[in-house]
Amino acid sequence: MMQAFELTALILAGGQAQRMGGVDKGLQVYQGVSMARRLVDLVSPLCIDTVISANRNIKHYRALTRLVVSDAEPWQDIGPLGGIFSALESINSSHLLIVPCDTPCLSREALLKLSMSAQQTPDKVHYLESESGRQPLHAVLPVNQLKQKLPNFLKNTEHFGVMKFYKTIGAESVYWEHDEELVNINRIEQLI
């Protein structure tokens, strides 16, 4: 019997934020609210659970959601795929919705469009694409495929590129016309 389409959200907040001076990006305040809080509030109504991938300030992130994971050895410091791998055991849904913590302008409508596309061809990865290009960290991934293929991919690659991994599953882009929603907050002066 086919599993019902359900989403678990993974907010990626485990980066080093080098362009922002090394601060914990997810905890930075944007328009009066931390970027991580903004994303938790956005994804929670669409998902059965919300996980945050963070490698520091775990106590602060646990105040936002009960599930916080840190990069597991030996996949520390490899980027987003390390965070995704660490979340695998926490996922009990058919699909994983990933979003980076540094796009606080993202809309519910963008995520709904992504989710609807994933429901049409559920065995593929679906990621947003906009005028500025691919947005592979705004994606819906099939969990069974993820659990089968990601550990093998990590063991057998020297380049931990997200799009390279998506090709092992098969991926479709979903065009989102509101490019301004996908702007990454990478510098302190962008915090308003």
| pLDDT, tens digit, 9 for 90 and up, residues 179-192 | 999 988 765 556 66
Band (1; pLDDT cuts 50, 70, 90): very low
Q: Where are the domains of the chain?
A: 7-190
**Backbone phi, psi, residue 135, to 5°:** -125, 70
Average pLDDT over residues 76-83: 89
CATH of 7-190 among 3.40.640.10, 3.90.550.10, 3.30.590.10, 1.10.10.10: 3.90.550.10
Q: What is the pLDDT of residue 191?
A: 64
Q: Which residues are annotated as a binding site?
A: 12-14, 25, 71, 102
Q: Which residues are annotated as a binding site for GTP?
A: 12-14, 25, 71, 102
Q: Which residues are annotated as a binding site for Mg(2+)?
A: 102
Least confident among 75-84, 106-115, 119-128, 159-168: 75-84
d(CA 136, CA 113): 15
Q: Please write the tens of the pLDDT for every residue from 25-66.
A: 889 899 999 999 999 999 999 999 999 999 989 999 999 999
Band (22; pLDDT cuts 50, 70, 90): low
